[in-house]
């Protein structure tokens, strides 16, 4: 609802003339504006002045802008412009001139038949686009579903966050969202990972409200509503047929029992063949969203992922029906056979290419562990020590200890591999995985026994073990731990050792760490060495044909990478290969139609590989920077640094998120030049 500007509101912002207020939230205000007298109306979200100098809020806004650009405008309000570095940062989005879902229901009553089905498809389409860009909305509710020319559009990514299950983005005493539409796991935000499944729960609550005029867990107070969400089944009286079944499935208490957004959309479109017409514009948007998502739905001719076996039979049947229907209609992604994405690389330099890890990419960690990088040297309070000698050397005089590694959480099917040595018969090497809060799984690698155990807050349970598995002390062994469909399989030197069923549904994801401990209860000096560690996703197929990242580990390469850490004293640098593309190339790659409402109009864009690699540097790498004078110290192809810089200065400038043109020879960094993008 529009309201007049207040006395303290600016008359203009970034060349846009502010006309009225549209709303206000905890982080900023939203204004109706236009750039020219005859230009289209837009909505501008501006951080409140009192927060503009708070680095936490500015960082959150910067993250929002980066992710919002990547969301295709399929049943979402398109991003048009942004300036995160402005004195009062702002984001410009399409103005949707229509009532919200809650206004429509309040005025006209519950929706029914094709109109209700259209809202269900429209919101699922928006979530497919949002999740496909790596974003979680986190505040889906009827007020954020607007009607434009009869087609629903989801708005307000104000608390959207990157799709990384470790990132909570709130302090322990904060809770973001609207209680009636919050998934059960949201009420335990300090201990449970928030995933896209939370948005699916909100979809179920929104559609239940649209079809019945009430929320499915309605109570007299927010506290009572939260209690019902946590303990009671939803009240879906008034919903009928297969849509009611999908809503019930979306409102499952456990996140893993809910369908993914693209699965949900497939099943809704399959239902639509029964006569629930949704209209051509909405169907075209739904089909386009299915082709756009790279985190869950993109990737050549890869079949649509099947739901987990533990889901109800009706989901499996519905998904199968949807798959047949969609395949027959040609809705699977079709990617160009060849795309030129290495525009920043001189063509005289041969490239070793690394295929996209999968449709659900990363995180993917590679570290030889021969120097500080993604793992660091540490000493604990009991004398345990993590250092680097022929690998990550771990010793402890008494209690078991771990050497913390990457902060990322690893979910789904994955492989953890490393070369591991225990120093004596009374030592055990440890691989901790899916570690979250006070719970985790452990792989114990001891000379006399190999086992997998689950450690909870109250007790520890052995899930599987194997005696005399050939893990000889003093010898280096290749250990591979594969996690697939909630089964952990262990091999040592290529020989299968054991399989264990993972039993804790609250641990679908978590951190990975290496450690060491005594083989028995006696106090001994235990030691182990880990080298050549790799943690990577598996079983997700490959990315679009022609889409490849430079493999900086092999051959002679020159490419653009994101630097996650540069340590001159250790002669090491942690990098993530990225694709550096013009807006036109980006939209050609991801099959977006050029317009002012998507990234096609941007000069340059990056696409992350999610593969983070620790590399050694040469003794005297050639280092260049733009300094503070890009006009003098920047060259082609974009503005790559040409002025020499000292290692410590470059490390400070790059921090943990700088872009550089990286030169390597056989996996050794021989040169870095920072990249300036005006």
What is the sign, positive or negative, of the torsion defined by CA atoms of 128, 238, 313, 283? negative
Residue 54 bears catalytic tag: no
In whole angstroms, give the CA distance from residue 245 to residue 215.
16
Q: Please state, as a whole number, how many other Cβ atoms lie within 10 Å of the Cβ of residue 398.
A: 15
Structure tokens belonging to residue 331: 């809705």
Query: CB count, 10 Å around CB of 585?
Result: 19
Cβ count within 10 A of residue 428: 25
- What distances in angstroms separate CA 249 from CA 197, 242, 583, one per listed residue? 11, 11, 39
Q: How far apart are CA 331 and CA 388, in angstroms?
A: 51
Number of H helices, E strands in the chain: 12, 37
Relative orientation angle of helices 313-329 and 261-272, to the nearest 10 degrees: 70
Dist. CA 474–CA 452, nearest whole Å: 22
Torsion sign, CA atoms 59, 675, 357, 365: negative
Cα separation, 518 vs 522, in Å, equals 7
Which of 54, 139, 444, 628 is catalytic? The answer is 139
* Beta carbons within 10 angstroms of residue 176's beta carbon: 18
**Total length of the chain:** 678
| Whole-number Å distance between alpha carbons of 117 and 10 | 42
In degrees, rounded to 5, the angle at the alpha carbon of residue 229 between the alpha carbons of residues 226 and 235 is 125
Inter-residue contact 516 to 430 (CB < 8 Å):
yes
Cα dihedral sign, 657-663-664-668: negative
Q: How far apart are CA 479 and CA 475, in angstroms?
A: 12
Q: Does 45 appear as a known binding residue?
A: yes
Q: Which residues are catalytic?
A: 139
- Residue numbers in the known binding site for ATP are 45
- Residue numbers in the known binding site are 45
């Amino acid at each position: 609802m529009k309201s007049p500007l207040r006395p303290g509101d600016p008359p203009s912002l970034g060349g846009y003339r502010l006309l009225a207020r549209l709303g206000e939230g905890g982080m900023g205000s939203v204004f109706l504006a236009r750039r020219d007298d005859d230009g289209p109306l837009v909505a501008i979200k501006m951080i409140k002045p009192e927060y503009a100098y708070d680095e936490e809020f500015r960082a959150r806004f910067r993250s929002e802008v980066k992710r919002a650009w990547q969301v295709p405008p399929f049943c979402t309000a398109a991003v048009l412009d942004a300036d995160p570095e402005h004195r009062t940062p702002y984001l410009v989005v399409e103005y949707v001139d229509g009532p919200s879902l809650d206004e429509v229901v309040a005025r006209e009553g519950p929706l029914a038949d094709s109109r209700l089905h259209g809202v269900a498809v429209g919101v699922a389409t928006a979530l497919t686009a949002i999740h496909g860009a790596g974003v979680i909305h986190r505040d889906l509710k009827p007020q954020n579903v607007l009607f434009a020319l009869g087609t629903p559009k989801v708005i307000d990514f104000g608390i959207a966050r990157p799709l990384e299950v470790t990132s909570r983005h709130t302090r322990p005493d904060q809770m973001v969202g609207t209680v009636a539409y919050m998934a059960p796991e949201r009420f335990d935000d300090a201990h449970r990972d928030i995933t896209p499944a939370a948005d699916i729960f909100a979809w179920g609550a929104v559609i239940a409200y649209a079809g019945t005029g009430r929320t499915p867990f309605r109570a007299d107070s927010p506290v009572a509503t939260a209690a019902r969400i946590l303990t009671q089944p939803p009240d879906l009286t008034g919903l009928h047929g297969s849509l009611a079944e999908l809503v019930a499935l979306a409102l499952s208490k456990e996140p893993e029992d809910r369908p993914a957004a693209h699965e949900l959309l497939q099943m809704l479109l399959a239902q639509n063949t029964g006569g629930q017409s949704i209209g051509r514009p909405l169907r075209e948007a739904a089909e386009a969203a299915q082709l756009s998502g790279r985190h869950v739905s993109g990737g050549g001719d890869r079949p649509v992922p099947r739901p987990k076996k533990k889901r109800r039979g009706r989901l499996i049947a519905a998904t199968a029906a949807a798959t047949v229907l969609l395949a027959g209609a040609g809705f699977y992604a079709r990617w160009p056979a060849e795309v030129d994405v290495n525009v920043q690389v001189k063509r005289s330099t041969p490239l070793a290419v690394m295929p996209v890890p999968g449709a659900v990419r990363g995180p993917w960690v590679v570290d030889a562990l021969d120097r500080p990088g993604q793992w660091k040297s540490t000493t604990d309070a009991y004398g345990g020590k993590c250092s680097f000698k022929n690998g990550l050397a771990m010793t402890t005089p008494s209690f078991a200890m771990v050497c913390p590694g990457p902060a990322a959480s690893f979910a789904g099917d994955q492989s953890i591999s490393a070369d591991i040595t225990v120093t004596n018969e009374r030592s055990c090497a440890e691989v901790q995985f899916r570690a979250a809060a006070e719970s985790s799984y452990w792989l114990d690698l001891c000379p006399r026994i190999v086992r997998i155990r689950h450690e909870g807050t109250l007790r520890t349970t052995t899930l599987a073990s194997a005696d005399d598995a050939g893990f000889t002390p003093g010898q280096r062994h290749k250990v591979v731990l594969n996690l697939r469909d909630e089964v952990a399989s262990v091999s040592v030197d290529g020989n299968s050792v054991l399989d264990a069923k993972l039993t804790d549904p609250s641990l679908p994801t978590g951190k990975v760490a290496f450690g060491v401990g005594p083989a028995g209860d006696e106090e001994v000096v235990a030691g182990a060495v880990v080298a050549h560690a790799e943690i990577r996703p598996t079983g997700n197929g490959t990315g679009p044909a022609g889409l490849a990242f430079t493999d900086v580990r092999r051959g002679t390469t020159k490419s653009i990478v994101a630097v996650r850490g540069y340590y001159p004293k250790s002669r090491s640098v942690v990098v993530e290969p990225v694709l550096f593309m013009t807006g036109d190339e980006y939209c050609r790659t991801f099959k977006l139609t050029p317009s002012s409402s998507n990234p096609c109009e941007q000069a340059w864009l990056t696409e992350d590989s999610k593969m983070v690699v620790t590399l050694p540097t040469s003794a005297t790498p050639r280092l260049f920077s733009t300094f503070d004078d890009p006009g003098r110290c920047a060259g082609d192809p974009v503005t790559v640094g040409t002025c020499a810089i000292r290692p410590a200065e470059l490390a400070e400038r790059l921090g943990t998120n700088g872009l550089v043109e990286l030169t390597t020879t056989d996996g050794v960094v021989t040169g870095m030049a920072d990249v300036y993008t005006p």
